Amino acid sequence: MNALGRHILAEIYGCDAEILNDRENIERIMVESALRAGAEVREVAFHKFSPQGVSGVVIISESHLTIHTWPELGYAAVDVFTCGNDVNPWDACNFLTSMLNAKHMTATEVKRGIFEQPVKVANL
């Protein structure tokens, strides 16, 4: 199987509600998670909801990281999607989970962009 990318869908429960509701902190954690995994950050967009919750994305050369937080539930939905072999999405996912002081995390890895023949991609 020749896949362009690996996409982790992480369900992160029992997080610190204050962290989840702090837009600047969430943005810093997400960018740091991308960098620690060796990704190259291209664009960043975060939004704070009223009365609570943060949504945001870090577009990386290798694809993206997204987060949506529900402080009132201690829950965050996180995606880490990476292409190529240089970045391990689990590095970002695990670091991020630890930074949210999460009690438990479950995650699934999905392959993206599956082709019958090996594919060579120009921009990685």
Catalytic residue flag (residue 64): no
Do 55 and 68 contact (CB within 8 A), yes or no? yes
The reply to whether 89 sits near its own copies by the rule CB under 8 A is no
Please identify, using beta-carbon distances, which residue of 2 and 98 lies nearer to its own copies: 2
Q: Contact with its own copies (CB under 8 A): which of 5, 20, 97, 105? A: 5
Conformational region of residue 88, where left means phi above 0, alpha means psi within -120 to 50, and beta covers everything else: beta
Distances in Å between the Cα of 29 and the Cα atoms of 26, 85, 100, 111 are 5, 23, 8, 25
The residues of the shown chain that bind its own copies, judged by CB under 8 A, are 4-5, 7, 9, 11, 42-47, 49-53, 55-57, 59, 61, 63-64, 66, 68, 70, 72-73, 75, 77, 79, 81, 83, 108, 110, 112-115, 119, 121-123
